[in-house]
Chain A
């Protein structure tokens, strides 16, 4: 078995009372691009700083080529540091040095290259990063994206064997983001360095990674190849992969399917015990997929968002609503009288029809007919979840509708 280049064993780090890393295990193999993903403030940067030696673990050990970091001699540690390079999250550029001087600094200080050799090397890197126009400007005079590229150039210029990238693409526009990821992958293939990347760019970053590690709740619950990640049934992994869908739900103000399911089970339990009943309403947006496809993603999202907001306004805290499927929203109204719910639903229908999303002029280029349907069912004792939802679906009626004269044209 090959010895991993870097191995973290049961590394624990605390800052005062707060534990940032809790018995973390991580293996980094030589020549691989290992990506660490996780929530902001989850200890990703702290993990990277342990690898480069900026922070020391409170417990646990770090092994470099199978040798404990703390047992390494000063010379061995210096040698490791010289082979490694670190790109900081906030770039950490020397603000009193120009872009050129920043990139040249590690060469000037740590190599015996002649000034003209340094100059040609640095200029080549500047050219590659498209920074020629700002070569003699100071970091504060250039944009955030450019600063990121300067930091990247500084990390690459010494051609190190290990590069630790702390969020190399954060703050870049989508085009440059892909360019930077491409650049890392390209350099890695050319020079063959080992890269450890902290990133939020899911899934783009997976395409260039050999291994992925997820850091969550101070630990690493998963590490493996991107394909293993995709096929993993670990709930934490699933949460990260579906992070984008979750974000959508945050924006629409709706709960997750699991939340409402849990609540429904709890309420059914109560109903069975107390022999009571409560209403549930299921809303369906028909044609949502077509709108997504032909009109656009933002338009489809706005329809869901609008419905979510109105549900909150009308039912206030009486109910819980959640995205039940791509185009279905389930609303549970415990402690509500079904008649009252019906009345509020009627008011909602009137209000909904007045919304901008139901006006054809909101879609100047392409308009698609669509309706919102709502079905109310009463959850009583002895009913199961599926039959309740089935009943609500069968009671569905159109509560708001937009008619376009022809598909793809304006009404």
Chain B
């Protein structure tokens, strides 16, 4: 009887445990972020370290963002044209491309690309510093490791994400122009003129809010996963770092998409 009861309850027990662990982890990440965020303002400000990180997260990601933005815009132009032409409204292609990019694709795709490029490396770098006792070394020197390693990355992400998203949007619209106007023959004036009246300031603001939030989420999760590599069950040394990097990327991607939905529902 007890066994039968156990076998009925085991899946629920597991579900409960996993849920509690997940919520606990989210709480820990939130505390980690608040701690790191408060330390951004502790004196002396870490200007040079932040600039270095802006260079790494932002400047070095520009090329990949340009490339992905261009092709996303082009494919949007292509798909949009063949869908709109069925209804005879291919003239609104410019507005369709611009709105899709500014409202959704720009911030989300930029965040995903930066997770792949900079987020994974943040987790791996901090993870390696953890397992090789470099973080302990900072502590023994009375240097706060969160202030030293995490705070500049969060500031750099807050600066870089909106900028890269803007670049993505602009190049995406240009990509749409390329496929819609240059390849498929829509009138150039119509493509551009339809953008201006259809894109409201609200859309641009929403885009920046999303980019700002994604910047915080990505940098916090990636740094958190690396920082606590040693606490991860079942993964020690290099394997621990690899698991930390994987979960940093997976968790960031999932949270970006979940938060995107939540934010969109508030912003619309």
Seen from chain A, the residues whose Cβ lies within 8 Å of a Cβ on chain B are 49, 52-54, 78, 81-82, 84-86, 88, 90, 92-96, 105-106, 109-110
Contacts and interface: CB of A to CB of B under 8 A. Distances in A.
Nearest to A81: B142
A404 to B, nearest CB: 55
A81 B132 contact: no
B137 A88 contact: yes
Contact of A88 (B128, B133, B143): B133
**10 nearest CB pairs, A to B:** A86-B140, A92-B137, A92-B133, A81-B142, A106-B141, A109-B143, A52-B140, A82-B142, A92-B134, A88-B133
A84 B137 CA distance: 12
Interface in B49-82: none
A93 B143 CA distance: 14
Interface in B118-149: 125, 128-129, 132-134, 136-137, 139-143, 148
A84 B141 CA distance: 8
Contacts of A106: 141, 143
Nearest to B143: A109
Interface string B16-35: 00000000000000000000
Q: What does DSSP make chain A's interface, helix, strand, loop or mixed?
A: mixed
A54 B140 contact: yes
Contacts of B148: 109
In this complex, the interface size class of chain B, counting residues with CB under 8 Å from chain A, is 10 to 19
B157 to A, nearest CB: 19
Contacts of B141: 81, 85, 105-106, 109-110
Most chain B C-beta atoms within 10 Å of own C-beta, residue among A52, A86, A109: A109
A350 to B, nearest CB: 53
A94 B132 CA distance: 9
A164 to B, nearest CB: 8
A49 B133 CA distance: 12
Nearest to B141: A106
Interface in B145-184: 148
22 contacts: A49-B136, A52-B140, A54-B139, A78-B142, A81-B140, A82-B142, A84-B140, A85-B141, A88-B136, A90-B132, A90-B133, A92-B133, A92-B137, A93-B137, A94-B129, A94-B134, A94-B137, A96-B125, A105-B141, A105-B143, A109-B141, A109-B148
Contacts of A81: 140-142
Given A88-B136, A94-B134, A95-B128, 13 more contacts: A54-B139, A78-B142, A82-B142, A84-B140, A92-B132, A92-B134, A92-B137, A93-B134, A95-B132, A96-B125, A105-B141, A109-B148, A110-B141
A85 B139 CA distance: 10
Contacts of A49: 136
A46 to B, nearest CB: 12
Nearest to A88: B133
A88 B133 CA distance: 8
Nearest to B132: A92
Contacts of B132: 90, 92, 95
A110 B133 CA distance: 19
A69 to B, nearest CB: 15
Contacts of B140: 52, 54, 81, 84-86
Nearest to B139: A54
Nearest to B140: A86
A85 B134 CA distance: 14
Most chain A C-beta atoms within 10 Å of own C-beta, residue among B132, B139, B141: B141
A94 B141 CA distance: 13
